[in-house]
Amino acid sequence: MTLEQRIARLEAIEAIKSLKARYFHACDNKQPEQVRACFAPGPIALDYGRVGEFSDREQMLDAFTRLACSDHIVEMHHGQNPQITVIDEDAATATWGLYYYLIDTRQQTTTQLAGFYDDRYRRLEGQWLISASRYRVSSTQVLDLSGDQLRAVFAGAEAPRELDDPEKQAPPGDT
């Protein structure tokens, strides 16, 4: 590998890290347009488990806006341990760990998830974008804050849907 190829590979890895950081930041700050800008236009393949499967960024953005862009939803996405493989100058893959923490002030619950993203990226017009993503939960903790004492609702791998249903986050009348 030439020096120029090695530098291009390192620049691609840094650009992909920056892209994923922008995505997490935009999610946490409820910025739908910035979320949209992280994904390739046209057909894509997103599988976010219980949140849904989406074939284009507009479908995903509709779900994001409905489920996450409310004042009663407070979120933190923390991506970690990226394993990025640059396939060629316009394609890459990555696996990311995710620590996710949600406070639902309406339901008076917190949910902590850990899991893994398997992503594919394309470089279009010089910009790296997410073209496919699959998220799988590896651990879950749901706590009830509504009483006088903190109560564990679930702790384990993936909680049953009735205990961790993203649709319950949507504002009343919006499901």
- Domain segments of the chain as ranges: 3-169
Model pTM score: 0.95
Quick one: pLDDT at residue 171?
87
Taking only the tens place, the pLDDT of each residue in 47-59 is 999 999 999 999 9
CA angle 35, 39, 40 (to 5 degrees): 150
14 Cβ neighbours under 8 A, 6+ residues apart:
none
Rg over alpha carbons for the chain, rounded to the nearest Å, is 17
Place of tokens 């309406």: 106
CATH architecture of 3-169: Roll (3.10)
Which of helix, strand or coil describes residue 105?
coil
Question: Over pLDDT 90: what percentage of the chain?
Answer: 96
The span from the CA of 134 to the CA of 60, in Å, is: 13
